[in-house]
Structure 1
Amino acid sequence: MKELLSVPRPARWALTAVLLAAMTTACSGSTSHSTESSVRDAKPGAVGVGDALFPALGNGGYDASHYALSLDYVPETNHLQGTATITARATHNLSRFNLDLAGLKVLTATVNGTDARFTRTQNELTLTPTKAIRNGEVFKAVIRYNGTPKMIEDSDGGVEGWIETDDGSTALGEPTGSMTWFPGNHHPSDKATYDITVSVPRDEDGDPYDVVSNGELLKEEDTGRRVTRKWHSDEPMASYLVNVTVGYFEIHKGWTSDDLPVYVAVDPDETEDAEGVQDLVPEITDWAGGRFGPYPFSSVGAVVDHLPDLRYALGTQTKPYFGEAPDDTLLVHEIAHQWFGNSVTPRQWNDMWLNEGFATYAEWLWQEDHGGRSAQRVFDSFYDGTHPESEGIWDFPPTDPPSADKVSDSPVYGRGAMTLHKVREAAGDRIFFDIIRTWTKQHRHDNVDTEDFIALCEAKAGKDLTQLFDTWLFSERKPADQRTEIAR
C-alpha cells in the first residue's frame, strides 16, 4: 500500500520483526480478584497468528468484528487519551486473550462490563476476564488508555505509527503502526468495522482543527472550545488501513458519476500543487470501476497533507493519504488499492504482491487508456531494466520476501505487475478482465492468498498456468526469454 514519492520503490516499512520484539512496556495490573474459569477446557488465545514474516503480530482465540474508538487528542502536547471498545467472537473456550499495543499506559480494562486483570509484555496486552468466554460467544472488551503515542522510525528513515505534522498529526499503520495508538488484533486477517470519534481543543488562537478519518462523517460538533468529529466505516477494514489525521484542511465534497460521495481534504500549503485532485479522485474511481468492477465502499476521497519528508503515500481505506500533492499515476495506484488490498485483503503479509502488483498494473492500464504507453511497452521496460522502478525486481520471488523489511520491496510491485500482464497475454483481454472483476466480486471484503488467485485464473482461462506462475511469480531468476509456453 505504501507508494514512494520521488524516490524509487520499494515503499518504506517501519517495523520489522526485530522492532516488534524490541518495543517493551512496563507490566501493569488492575485487580486482584479470582480469574478461575467456569468454562471447561478454556485455554488462552494464541500470541500471534503465525504469520511467517510477522510472527508476533495479531492474536488467536477470537475474531474482532467492530472497534469503537473514542479519542481525546491535544495537538500542542501530542497527548492522547482513548477508550477502545472491541466487539469480538471467541473461536474457542477462552480463558484469556491478547491485544497488540505498543507504548501508551493502560488505565482500566473490562470484559463484558466486569473488571479484567491485565498485564503488559513487550507489545502484548493480555486481558484475563473474571469468567472464561465460551466458544462462539460474542463479547465486549473496553480498554481505557493514555499517553504520547509513538512514531516508529525505520532503519532507512521511513516512519509510521502516530506522526506529528506541522499543524497536527496523522496515524499511518502499514504494516504495524496502528498498534501505537489503539489496542487491537493488528493483523490483516482479522478485519472489522469501525466508529472513530475524535475530540480536539481549539488551537491557541481559538481556531478549530479538522479531523479526517476513514468512511463517512456522521457527526460534527463545535462547542466553541472543542471540536468533535465522528467517522463511521460500515465495511470491514484491516487495522493497518485505519487513519486519523488532525490539522487544518480545505475540504472539497462532490460525487462520482455513480453518486458515490467524494471527500477530499487538502492542506492549505499544498493547495496550488494539489489543484485538480478533487476532480481526479472521482474520475479515477469511475475509470477503475469500469476496469475492476463496482467500487467496494460507501465513499471515496483523499487526504493531501503537508508532510514532504514522509516520502510515501498510503492507500488507507476510502481516503488514501498523501504527504504532498500526488500526480495522477500515484492517485491511480492508491485508489486501485481500494479494490486490491482494502476490499480483497491478503491473508498473510507474504502475499502483498496481490496488493501491490495489482495497483502497479492499474498504473499501466491507466497509461494505456489515456494516451500513454501500452502495458506491453511498460512490461518490456521492466524486463530490460530501462524502467526507473525496475531496479531490484529480480532480487527475490514476489511471494517469498526474505524478511519483514523486504515485504514491500520492488519485486512485490514490478514483478507482481509483470505476472498479471503475462496472465493477460495467456488468457486474452476478455477473459483477463473477467478474471479481475470476478476476483473483486467473489472476494469482496474477504481475505485471500496466491493459491486462490491462481485457481481462479486457471478456471477462467481453461488452461494449466503452472509454468507461467513458476516463471514469473515463483522463480528466483530473471527468465532468459519473455516467451512463456502455456499448456493447452
Structure 2
Amino acid sequence: MDRFLRNIFFTLLLTIIAFFSFSPGSLTKSPEEINRIKKIYYQNHLLRYKNIFRYDERSEGDTLVDILTYDLYFDLHPEEKLLKGIAKIKFTLKNKNTNYIDLNFYDNFDLTGLLLNGKNIDYDYDENLLSIPLNGTLPDTSIVEVRYEGTPGRGGFVGFAFGSINDNSLVYTLSEPDYASTWFPCNDIPVDKALLDIRIENDSSKISVSNGILMDVKNKGDRKVYHWKTLYPISTYLITLYSSDYVSFSDDYISLDEQDTMKIEYYVLPDKLDNARIDFAENPKIMKFFAETFGEYPFINEKYGVAEFLWQLGAMEHQTITGVASNLIGGNNFFLDVYIHELAHHWWGDAVGPKSWNDIWLNEGFSSYCEALYFESVSGRSALFSTMQSKYQENFNGILSNPESNLFSSTVYNKGAWVLHMLRWEVGDSLFFSSLRAYYEKFKYSNAATGDFITVCDSVTGGNLDDFFEQWIDRKGQIELEYDYRTYNKDNKYITEIKLIQLNDLYKFPLEIQFKYDEENSDYFRIYVDAQKQEISFQTITEPKQVILDPKGWLLMNIR
C-alpha cells in the first residue's frame, strides 16, 4: 500500500477511523478508497466540534500574574466520578499595585479550602473564574493553595474524563485549547509556561502516568500515588494524566552526541500490547530524524511516551506523553503519519509554544509538514510530493493568521503545511532548514508568534519575505493560473512563448516549467512570476512535446 497517500486531513483531532481496526476488508482497499473514507469521516465528525471552542484570547500582556510552578495532587475515585484536588500554585505579580488575581477554574467544584501564603482568605468563584483579593503587599513570590472536589465538567474535546472500556476504568484528560481549567485552577493560556509537580492517587491496581519523569511511587493503603515532575516548562493545555490497568514496555533513544540514553515509554491496555509493539516501533527512528533535522529532542532529560486513551477521534501531543486513541492501535501501522505528527509536536507546539491561539498553525502546520519530511527521508523526494498532494484542496476556508474558532481546521493543518512547503521552494533547502533550526533554538522552552518566525526567516535568508507571508498567511485562497503557449521554429531553433494570467489576486512566486521532449528527456526552467499577466519565451534545440507548469508540485495552485 502506498502509505504516503494515507496522510490525513486534520491530523491532530481527525486521525482515527474504527473501520481500520475491525473491518477485514480494510486490508484490501486501495489508498484512494482509504483516503476517501477518511475524508468523509473527518468532515462529519468535525461538525460536532465546529462551535464548541470559545478559546481565551488573552495574551501574556493581559494577565496580572506569572505562574512559576504548579504542584498538583489528584485523588481519583472513578466509580463515583469524583475528583479530589489540591493545587499549590507559586506565582509572581507582574504589577505590584494590583489588588487581585484571577485564575481560570470551572465553577462546578466544591472548594474546601483556599490559602494565600498559608493564610485563609476570601475569594469569589463564579463564571469559571476564581478571583482572589490581595490585602497588603505580597512578597516577590507567593503561593495560593486551593482544595476542591467534585465531578469535572467536560469541555472542548474532552477536558477531564472518567472513562471505561471493557468494564475497566480509564481516566484521562485532553485540555486543548484552554480546558485545563476544567480540572485544576490555572492561568489557562499557552504563553504562561511553568514547572510542574503532579501526584496521582488511584487504586493500587492502576498505573498513573503524566508529564516529565517519574520521581516515585508510594503505597497508601490499598491505593498508590505516582509522582511525576517536569524539568522543562510546560503550558497548561499540555498538562495531562492517564490512569488505568496499563501494561508498559519501552524503547531506548540515544542522543545525537551519544552521551544520553532516554527511555521511550509506552502504556496500553493488555489487549493492545501486541498491536502497540508493532505500531509504536518506529518512534526511535522518527525521533532521531527530527533531532538531526531540527536539533536534539527538547526533553532529553525526561522521556517521550505514548499512552492509550479513549478519545476516539485522534491523538494529543501532551508534553512527553502523547495520548493516542485506542482505535489507532490496530497492529497494522495504518496510522504511522499520526505518530510522526504527534512526535513532531514536541519540537513544534511543546518546546516552541504558540504565543496565542491565532498562532496555532505554527504547531499544526509545522507538524503536518513534518509528516512529509519524514516520509521523504525514508522513501525519497517522490514521497514528499505525494504526501503534500494528499493535503491539497482547492478551497481552504479562513486565514492562517486569524483562524478564529476554526483552530482545528484543514486550513490550519494542511494549508499551514503547504506554506512551509512553498517557503522551502522559495528559499531553497539549505536556507529553509537553517531557518527552522534557528527558530527552534531561539524559542525553545518559550513561545513564538507568526511574526517571530518571519523575523527569523528574514534574518537567516538575508531577504525580505513579507510578500510571501502576507499572501499565504493573511489571505484566503490560492494561486489561480491560466496559461497558454505556442512553439515555432526560427533559424533551426524552437521558440516557445508562454502567456500566464493570474485570474484572481496577484501572487508572487517562483515557478518551475518543464519542457518535455519525450518520456526520458526534459528541460526544467525556473522563473519568477510577479505580475497579473506575464509573457515569457524560451529557446531550445528540440521541440517540446509538452509544457508543464509546476511539474513536481511545489505550489498551492490551480492551473487551468
Measured in 2, the distance between the counterparts of 1:64 and 1:194 equals: 11
Measured in 2, the distance between the counterparts of 1:397 and 1:220 equals: 47
The question of 1:125 aligning with 2:130 is answered yes
Superposition deviation, residue 466 in structure 1: 2.0
Offset from partner CA, 1:296-318 (integer Å, 9 cap, x none)? 112333334252x5212101101
Among 330, 334, 338, the residue aligned to 2:338: 330
The question of 1:291 aligning with 2:293 is answered yes
Aligned runs of 1:30-429 on 2, under 5 Å?
Answer: 54-55=56-57, 60-93=63-96, 94-102=98-106, 103-133=108-138, 137-152=140-155, 158-166=157-165, 167-202=169-204, 208-223=205-220, 225-258=222-255, 259-297=261-299, 298-305=301-308, 307=310, 310-324=312-326, 325=328, 327-371=335-379, 373-379=382-388, 381=389, 387=390, 389-391=391-393, 394-401=396-403, 403-404=404-405, 406-429=406-429
Superposition deviation, residue 437 in structure 1: 1.0
Measured in 1, the distance between the counterparts of 2:78 and 2:377 equals: 44
Measured in 2, the distance between the counterparts of 1:270 and 1:430 equals: 42
Measured in 1, the distance between the counterparts of 2:424 and 2:135 equals: 56
Superposition deviation, residue 279 in structure 1: 3.1
Superposition deviation, residue 346 in structure 1: 0.8
Superposition deviation, residue 219 in structure 1: 0.5
Measured in 1, the distance between the counterparts of 2:463 and 2:81 equals: 57
Q: State the AA in 2 paired with 1:255.
A: D
Superposition deviation, residue 97 in structure 1: 0.6
Identity %: 25
5+ residue gaps, structure 1, are 21-52, 203-207, 382-386
Q: Secondary structure at the match of 1:436?
A: helix
How many residues were matched structurally? Answer: 435
Offset from partner CA, 1:204-230 (integer Å, 9 cap, x none)? xxxx10101011100012345111100
Q: State the AA in 1 paired with 2:227.
A: K
Superposition deviation, residue 14 in structure 1: 8.8
Offset from partner CA, 1:380-423 (integer Å, 9 cap, x none)? x2xxxxx3x5457521111121x32x112111111111111111
Q: Secondary structure at the match of 1:400?
A: coil
Higher strand fraction (1 or 2): 2
Measured in 1, the distance between the counterparts of 2:88 and 2:422 equals: 46
Superposition deviation, residue 445 in structure 1: 0.6
Offset from partner CA, 1:176-216 (integer Å, 9 cap, x none)? 221111000010010101000011134xxxxx101010111
Higher relative contact order (CA 8 A, sep 6+): 1
Offset from partner CA, 1:305-356 (integer Å, 9 cap, x none)? 252x521210110111101235321111000000100010111101100000
Measured in 2, the distance between the counterparts of 1:13 and 1:238 equals: 27
CA contact (8 A) 2:508 2:529 kept: no
The question of 1:484 aligning with 2:509 is answered yes
Alpha-carbon spacing, 1:429–1:164, altered in 2? closer, same or farther (3 Å): same
Q: State the AA in 1 paired with 2:365.
A: G
Q: 1:446 corresponds to which residue? A: 446
CA contact (8 A) 1:424 1:432 kept: yes
Superposition deviation, residue 235 in structure 1: 0.4
Q: 2:4 corresponds to which residue? A: none
Q: State the AA in 2 paired with 1:352.
A: I
5+ residue gaps, structure 2, are 1-10, 17-37, 256-260, 330-334, 482-506, 511-527, 531-560
Q: State the AA in 1 paired with 2:387.
A: V
CA contact (8 A) 1:110 1:129 kept: no
Q: Secondary structure at the match of 2:453?
A: helix
Q: 1:47 corresponds to which residue? A: none
Measured in 2, the distance between the counterparts of 1:63 and 1:119 equals: 20
Q: Secondary structure at the match of 1:276?
A: helix
Offset from partner CA, 1:243-265 (integer Å, 9 cap, x none)? 10010111113320221222211
Offset from partner CA, 1:35-74 (integer Å, 9 cap, x none)? xxxxxxxxxxxxxxxxxx5247997211001000011111
Measured in 2, the distance between the counterparts of 1:96 and 1:367 equals: 51
Measured in 1, the distance between the counterparts of 2:99 and 2:309 equals: 46
Measured in 1, the distance between the counterparts of 2:307 and 2:141 equals: 38
Measured in 1, the distance between the counterparts of 2:454 and 2:313 equals: 33
Alpha-carbon spacing, 1:411–1:74, altered in 2? closer, same or farther (3 Å): same
TM-score by length of 1: 0.83
Superposition deviation, residue 108 in structure 1: 1.1
CA contact (8 A) 2:59 2:356 kept: no
Q: 1:4 corresponds to which residue? A: 14
Q: State the AA in 2 paired with 1:427.
A: V
Offset from partner CA, 1:13-54 (integer Å, 9 cap, x none)? 99889776xxxxxxxxxxxxxxxxxxxxxxxxxxxxxxxx52
Superposition deviation, residue 443 in structure 1: 0.6
Superposition deviation, residue 138 in structure 1: 1.0
Alpha-carbon spacing, 1:303–1:224, altered in 2? closer, same or farther (3 Å): farther
Superposition deviation, residue 369 in structure 1: 1.0
Measured in 1, the distance between the counterparts of 2:303 and 2:193 equals: 19
CA contact (8 A) 2:159 2:182 kept: no
Q: Secondary structure at the match of 1:81?
A: strand
CA contact (8 A) 2:13 2:408 kept: no
TM-score by length of 2: 0.73
CA contact (8 A) 2:307 2:321 kept: no
Between 84-93 and 252-261, report the one with greater CA deviation. Answer: 252-261
Structure number with larger C-alpha Rg: 2
